[in-house]
Structure 1
Amino acid sequence: MKYNLTGEGYEVVTAKDGDEAIEKARRTQPDLVVLDVMMPRKTGVEVCQILRAQAAFKDTLIIFLTAVNDDGSQIRGLETGADDYLTKPVSPKVFISRVNALFRRLNKTEVKTLEMENIKIDPERFMVQVDGNDIVLAKKEFELLYLLAQKPGRVFLRNEILNQVWGNDVIVGDRTIDVHIRKIRQKLGIDCVTTVKGVGYKFEL
C-alpha cells in the first residue's frame, strides 16, 4: 500500500504499532491515517479514539484497512470517528480509489456556521453551542447534525444520511444512525432532531 500510495504522489510515513502511530501522527500532522484493527500495543480503534479526541485531527481522514470484518468491529471503528472501513483482501487500485474519493468529498465540503434561536453549529471548531454552552460531539455525530441542520424541516432519508455522512462505499446498518441520533439528543439536551417513522430524520426547533 505504501508503494501504491507513493506512486499516486502521496508522501507516506509508516509505524509498527499503535503507540508509534500516535507519536508520528502528532509529529507529522498527516492528511490521512490508515489503521488496522489488530495492531500491537494499541488497537486501531484505540488509536482512532485518541486522535479524534484532539482538535488537531478533527479534519484528518481516518481509514481502517483490516481483515477483521465482523459487524461489531465495523460499527466500533466508524463510531469512533473513522471515515471508511475496508476489509481485506482489497486490491491496491480499489484502495487508492477510495482514498481519492474521500479527499474529493472533503474538498467539496462547504463550511459555514449555522445559527438558529438557541443553537449555534460551528464546523470550523466541530463545536455546537446550546444557550451559549459548548457541547462536544464525536466527528460523525457532528457531521450528522450539521447535515440535518443545513435544511431545517426537510426529511433526510436513511440512505441519504448514510451516503452523505458515511459515504456510499461504507456498509453500516440503520442501528448506527439511531445510535448517533440518540447520542446527539442526549448531549444537546434539546429535542431538535425528529424521527419520521419508517422514512428518516429532520432538524427542527
Structure 2
Amino acid sequence: MTMKILVIEDEQAIREMIVLFLTQQRYDVIEAFDYQSAVKKLEENPKLILLDWMLPGRSGVQLIQYMKKTPKFATIPIIMLTARSAEEDCITCLNAGADDYVTKPFSPKILLARIDALLRRTYEQSSSILEIDGLILETESKRVRYQNNEINLSSTEYKLLLFFMQHPEKVYSREQLLDFIWGNQIYVEDRTVDVYIRRLRKGLAPYHLDRYIQTIRGSGYRFSNRLWE
C-alpha cells in the first residue's frame, strides 16, 4: 500500500521540492499552502504530515492543536518543518503534539529517513492485545482504552506506552528509550524523552494511571502497577 503524505508549506519552492522528492520515493503526496487548505486536505486521510510552523491564516502549532481535539485526526503522525532552531521552539512543537522536528535548511535524505522511521513505528502491524489492570492497548487498531473510555494519544505517546506495556517492571534509561522508540539512526535529545513522558502521564492522569509510569532517580523510567517505596 502506498503511504499518503500531506505536505503543508507556504513557500512554493520548498513545497515543490519536497513533493517532487517524495514522489520519486514512490509516496502518494498531497499538498496545502495555508491553514484553511490544510484543514480540507486532512479529509483525504494522510498517513503522515509534514507541517511548516509559519502558515498564512494560522500557525502550524495551531493546526496541531486543532488536530489533537479532533478524534479522526488526533493520531496522524506529524513532522514539523521550520527555520526556528531554538530549544524552546522544539519543546513547544513537541508539547503541542508534533512527533518530530526538522529545522530548515535540511537534507532531503535526512528528512526521508525520519519519515520512514516515523511511519514504521506508527504503522507496524501486530494482532495482539495488551492489558494491565484494565488498561487495554490494541496494537492492530492502535487504540488505548480504560473501562470503556478511549484514551487519545499521539503516535509517539502510543509507541512509548506500547513499549512500556511490553516490558513492565523493568527500568530503562533515557538513552535506551531513545534507541527503542526513535531508533539509533535518528538524533533526538535526551530531554525529548522527558517531554513525552510528561505528555503520556497527562493522557493517563484522568484515570489515575499516570502513577504507573515511575521515575527512578538516576536511572530512568519504569512501568509498573505496583507501589514502590
- TM value normalised by structure 1: 0.83
CA contact (8 A) 1:81 1:138 kept: no
- Counterparts in 2 of 1:162 and 1:112: CA distance versus 1, 3 Å: same
Amino acid at match of 1:189: H
Q: Does 1:6 align with 2:23?
A: yes
- Counterparts in 2 of 1:188 and 1:135: CA distance versus 1, 3 Å: farther
Q: Which sits farther off after the overlay, 179-188 or 58-67? A: 179-188
Q: Does 1:43 align with 2:59?
A: yes
Match of 2:202 in 1: 183
Aligned residue for 2:28, secondary structure, equals coil
For structure 1, which runs of at least 5 residues remain unmatched after alignment? none
Amino acid at match of 1:186: A
**Which residue, 109, 115, 119 being the options, matches 2:131?**
115
For structure 2, which runs of at least 5 residues remain unmatched after alignment? 1-17
Q: Which sits farther off after the overlay, 137-146 or 61-70? A: 137-146
Amino acid at match of 1:138: L
- TM value normalised by structure 2: 0.76
Distance 1:104 1:141 in 2: 15
Match of 1:203 in 2: 223
Distance 1:122 1:33 in 2: 23
Aligned residue for 1:86, secondary structure, equals strand
How far apart are 1:44 and its partner, in Å?
1.0
**Which residue, 85, 95, 104 being the options, matches 2:120?**
104
Distance 2:121 2:161 in 1: 18
- Counterparts in 2 of 1:73 and 1:170: CA distance versus 1, 3 Å: farther
Distance 1:147 1:155 in 2: 12
Match of 1:68 in 2: 84
- Counterparts in 2 of 1:109 and 1:79: CA distance versus 1, 3 Å: farther
The count of corresponding residues between Structure 1 and Structure 2 is 202
Distance 1:116 1:178 in 2: 18
Q: How does 1:159-174 map to 2 (within 5 A)?
A: 159-168=175-184, 169-172=186-189, 173=191
